[in-house]
Amino acid sequence: MLPNLFYIICFSVSIFASFINMTFAFIMIIIVVINHQCRTITNLMMCNTAAATTIYSILRLFSAAYGLQEDWFYNQPACTFRAYCYVMVCMIVTSSYALQSISRLFFAVLYKHKYLLSCRIHWFIIIINYLISMLGPIPPIFIGNGYVFEPESRLCLATTKVFYSSMLAVTIAYIIPISIVITVYGIILYHARQSTRRIVASTRNNSVQAIANNSIKPNFKREMQLMKNISILVGIHLCAGIPYLILVLWHVIQKQSPPEPFYLLALIAISICFAIKMIILFFMNKEVKNVAINYLRNLGRF
């Protein structure tokens, strides 16, 4: 049995990460709601991610509160329901990033189909995402010990000790969303490269060097900036789910159980990565970031 101090430290880190998540999510949502110029479809999708992350953080706070109680082993009410909610919320958060990538695909590649650029379509895919996320985590309920209380982590979840339920959870909440993100951004990058090559070919045929200087460089810069943003977000996304996935595979490949700290640390890694990703999303959104900075400067004048 691990010392209680280990759980105090880990759950404290989880609580801190949850407050970071909620703080940045709250700031982004308030700025978009208050400022009319920030009410864009891009910011709508970002607010969807912020709202989903807030729900995740609230759920983590409840889990940490139960895990820090002295009677943590016996006082775990509605454990199956909380485990289901945890997988559901993880699926909503990760798939919200997939929705952001799909939205960018609409504007970057499928822009000729005007109906795909409407706010109504984006609200529709957000609602569909929530419905799918509610239905996706249901099957593990019917698997024996699919959602249980795990003493090693002091959490109710799809334990990695049961391969079928944990693998199903990691597939719907991690592998599928991140595969969509990578595929969609790959299509966008391919389209950007093809557009750049068409501009180069057109410029050479017309022998107009000035057009090349004005057209190719901005496209190249946007392409490199897009690749940079994709690499950062996908990298953090991978870091979030890999520890849990390793635990799932460990129980299949290795005959002996993994060290006890790994159970909780794999889940704490998700909270930390979500917090880091929320901070990066905030600073990547220059429009929202500038509004927040200007507001802070105005406060400093008083």
The residue extents of the domains of the chain are 4-301
- State which amino acid sits at residue 277: K
- Measured CA to CA, the distance from residue 279 to residue 261 in angstroms comes to 27
Q: Domain 4-301 carries which CATH code? A: 1.20.1070.10
Q: What is the pLDDT of residues 129-180, one digit of tens each?
A: 999 999 999 999 998 888 999 999 999 999 999 999 999 999 999 999 989 9
Question: Radius of gyration of the chain from Cα atoms?
Answer: 22
250 neighbors 266 (Cβ within 8 angstroms): no
49 neighbors 279 (Cβ within 8 angstroms): no
Mean pLDDT computed over 204-223: 49
187 neighbors 105 (Cβ within 8 angstroms): yes
- Measured CA to CA, the distance from residue 142 to residue 19 in angstroms comes to 34
Say if residue 53's pLDDT is above 80. Answer: yes
- State the DSSP code for 160: T
Q: What is the pLDDT of residues 251-279, one digit of tens each?
A: 888 878 889 999 999 999 999 999 998 99
Say if residue 55's pLDDT is above 80. Answer: yes
User: Kind and range of the H or E element at 196?
Assistant: helix 176-206
Which pLDDT belongs to residue 202? 57
Indicate the average pLDDT of the chain.
Answer: 86
Structure tokens at 80: 């199956």
Portion of the chain with pLDDT greater than 70, in percent? 88
189 or 216, greater pLDDT: 189
Cα 49–54–56 angle (5° rounding)?
A: 95
- Measured CA to CA, the distance from residue 209 to residue 87 in angstroms comes to 55
Question: Sign of the C-alpha dihedral, residues 46, 127, 233, 241?
Answer: positive
- Measured CA to CA, the distance from residue 169 to residue 159 in angstroms comes to 10
The structure tokens 């910011």 sit at 43
- Measured CA to CA, the distance from residue 116 to residue 41 in angstroms comes to 11
Q: How confident is the model at residue 181 (pLDDT cuts 50, 70, 90)?
A: confident
